[in-house]
């Protein structure tokens, strides 16, 4: 055995694992302190960082692999708090609901997972799919598939005819009457049952659709869709089971109800009022703006035939507003978490969100913090993820140049390590 102990090939990616790895880092971003340091060696043993030493340690030991990142900026692996890892919207997406089986979805999802990891996102929160996302999470955890660490909601929870009702837009023959098992509720009791079903299915978090949405085949894009009683039942039951909760919300009234009920994160937040912003500050509720998705749906709405007419109309209304809402919320001091809604646009392009956030007024270091230390704390992984620190999991990415001066450099990641294994070099 020389420097590399074993070589495992997963899909198209070469994964290098060594007993001990020395990463010679030109610049390291300390996201906790919000500053950089230079000429350090990160020592990785197994799947954890065991030392960060000054200077460049010599790798004389035959069981040490040395990686030269001296001309790069090194950061913790990024965390995206809003993806849909199972799929990716295209002009055939609405038809695919009737033609694709779970197996088709599963094979496609492995491609999207691989792209996400290669882009430097070593962890993601998946906010709703068919349930294949739970199987994908397990496959990644077992090392069968190459992808990010997945925290998944399984199937999102909505109300009859609401944004997460899987039978919206279908003919009566296929509509049926989905219930809590399928993520559709119409009472506090059904809300509790739906949360418990997610727990039984193996989900890690809860996603609800507090208002109408853009891509569902339904007329209203921002009406409130849950009663306070239903929301309180969801939040209290989720708390019992240790779930982080997220609420898709475009309209202000549904947003306010969700925040008052105790939801942890508001996704999108398009038509958020100043009153809601103040309430979120008071409650410590985070905004996950997904500016990238807003930009993409507005763009695709002008492409003939890409969306059904009812969807295109909503996309043109909602899409252009999200970045402006983010700018106002950030300026007011609303807590911000990084999330993209990848799947609405191509997976692997998640890092474009950084540029939109900075463009809207957030400093580069804060944008990076939102995708690392902030999201790790939200996930309850503040002792494992989101920092380059002794004892933390070795999720590490690197890029040429200085992203604190040019945030768009993060769209071209050169090195990816997840859990101590090198996936891109």
CA–CA distance, 40 with 70 (Å, rounded to integer)? 9
Is 1 contained in some domain? no
**Alpha-carbon distances, residue 143 vs 13, 152, 348, 421 (angstroms):** 12, 17, 20, 11
Compute the distance between CA of residue 216 and CA of residue 212 in angstroms, rounded to an integer. Answer: 8
- Structural domain includes residue 139: yes
User: Is this prediction's pTM over 0.75?
Assistant: yes
Asked if residue 332 and residue 255 are part of one domain, the reply reads: yes
**194 and 221 both lie in a single domain:** yes
Task: Tell me: do 72 and 91 sit in the same domain.
Answer: no
Q: Is residue 352 part of a domain?
A: yes
Do 192 and 68 reside in the same domain of the chain? no
Q: What is the CATH number of the domain that holds 218?
A: 3.20.20.140
Q: Are residues 24 and 153 in the same domain?
A: no
Counted domains in the chain: 2
- CA nearest to 221, candidates 321, 149, 302: 321
User: 99 and 186, same structural domain?
Assistant: yes
Same domain, 180 and 68: no
Which of 360, 378, 396 is the endpoint of a domain? Answer: 378
Secondary structure (3-state) at 115: helix
Question: Does residue 85 sit in the same domain as residue 40?
Answer: no
State the Cα–Cα distance between residues 277 and 329, nearest whole angstrom.
6
In a domain? residue 116: yes
Please report the beta strands in 285-326, taking only residues with DSSP state E, as ranges in sequence order. 286-288
Tell whether 126 and 254 lie within a shared domain.
yes
CATH code: domain of residue 49:
2.30.40.10
- The answer to whether residues 238 and 255 belong to one domain is yes
Q: What's the alpha-carbon Rg for the chain, to the nearest Å? A: 21
Residue 85, in any domain of the structure: yes
Per-residue pLDDT of the chain (425 residues; tens, 9 = 90+): 333 333 333 344 556 555 899 999 999 999 999 999 999 999 999 999 999 999 999 987 778 999 999 999 999 999 999 999 999 988 777 777 778 888 988 999 999 999 999 999 999 999 999 999 999 999 999 999 999 999 999 999 999 988 877 777 777 777 788 788 999 999 999 999 999 999 999 999 999 999 988 877 777 778 999 999 999 999 999 999 999 999 999 999 999 999 999 999 999 999 999 999 999 999 999 999 999 999 998 888 888 888 888 888 888 888 889 999 999 999 999 999 999 999 999 999 999 999 999 999 999 999 999 999 999 999 999 999 999 999 999 999 999 999 999 999 999 999 999 999 999 99
What is the Cα–Cα distance from 398 to 84, expressed in whole angstroms?
25
256 part of a folded domain: yes
Same domain, 117 and 245: yes
Domain that holds residue 297: 78-378
The answer to whether residue 56 is domain-embedded is yes
Task: Please indicate, yes or no, if residue 169 is contained in any of the structural domains.
Answer: yes
**Same-domain check for residues 59 and 206:** no
């Amino acid at each position: 055995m020389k420097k590399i102990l074993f070589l495992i090939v997963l899909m198209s990616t070469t994964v290098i694992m060594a007993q001990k790895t020395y990463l010679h880092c030109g610049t390291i971003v300390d996201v906790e302190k919000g500053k950089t340091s230079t000429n350090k060696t990160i020592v990785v043993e197994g799947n954890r960082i065991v030392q960060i030493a000054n200077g460049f340690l010599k790798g004389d030991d035959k069981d040490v692999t040395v990686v030269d990142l001296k001309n790069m900026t090194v950061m913790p692996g990024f965390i995206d708090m809003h993806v849909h890892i199972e799929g990716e919207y295209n002009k055939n997406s609405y038809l695919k609901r009737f033609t694709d089986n779970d197996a088709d979805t599963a094979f496609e999802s492995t491609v999207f997972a691989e792209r996400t990891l290669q882009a430097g996102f070593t962890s993601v929160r998946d906010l709703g799919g068919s349930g294949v996302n739970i199987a994908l999470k397990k496959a990644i955890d077992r090392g069968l598939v190459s992808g990010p660490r997945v925290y998944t909601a399984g199937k999102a929870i909505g109300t009859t005819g609401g944004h997460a009702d899987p039978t919206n837009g279908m003919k009566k023959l296929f509509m049926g009457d989905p219930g809590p098992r399928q993520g559709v509720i119409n009472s506090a009791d059904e809300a509790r049952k739906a949360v418990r079903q997610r727990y039984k299915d193996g989900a890690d978090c809860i996603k609800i659709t507090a208002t109408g949405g853009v891509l569902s085949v339904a007329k209203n894009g921002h009406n409130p869709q849950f009663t306070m009683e239903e929301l309180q039942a969801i939040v209290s039951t989720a708390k019992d089971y240790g779930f982080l909760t997220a609420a898709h919300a475009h309209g202000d009234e549904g947003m306010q109800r969700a925040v008052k009920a105790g939801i942890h994160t508001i996704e999108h937040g398009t038509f958020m009022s100043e009153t809601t912003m103040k309430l979120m500050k008071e409650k410590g509720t985070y905004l996950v703006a997904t500016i990238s998705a807003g930009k993409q749906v507005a763009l695709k709405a002008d492409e003939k035939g890409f969306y059904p007419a009812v969807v295109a109309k909503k996309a043109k209304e909602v899409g252009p507003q999200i970045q402006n809402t983010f700018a106002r919320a950030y300026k007011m001091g609303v807590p911000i978490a990084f999330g993209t809604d990848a799947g609405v646009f191509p997976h692997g392009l998640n890092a474009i969100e950084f540029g939109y956030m900075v463009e809207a007024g957030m400093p580069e270091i804060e944008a990076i913090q939102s995708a690392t230390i902030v999201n790790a704390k939200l996930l309850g992984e503040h002792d494992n993820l989101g920092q380059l620190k002794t004892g933390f999991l070795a999720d590490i990415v690197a890029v040429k140049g200085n992203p604190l001066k040019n945030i768009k450099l993060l769209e071209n990641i050169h090195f990816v390590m997840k859990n101590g294994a090198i996936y891109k070099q």
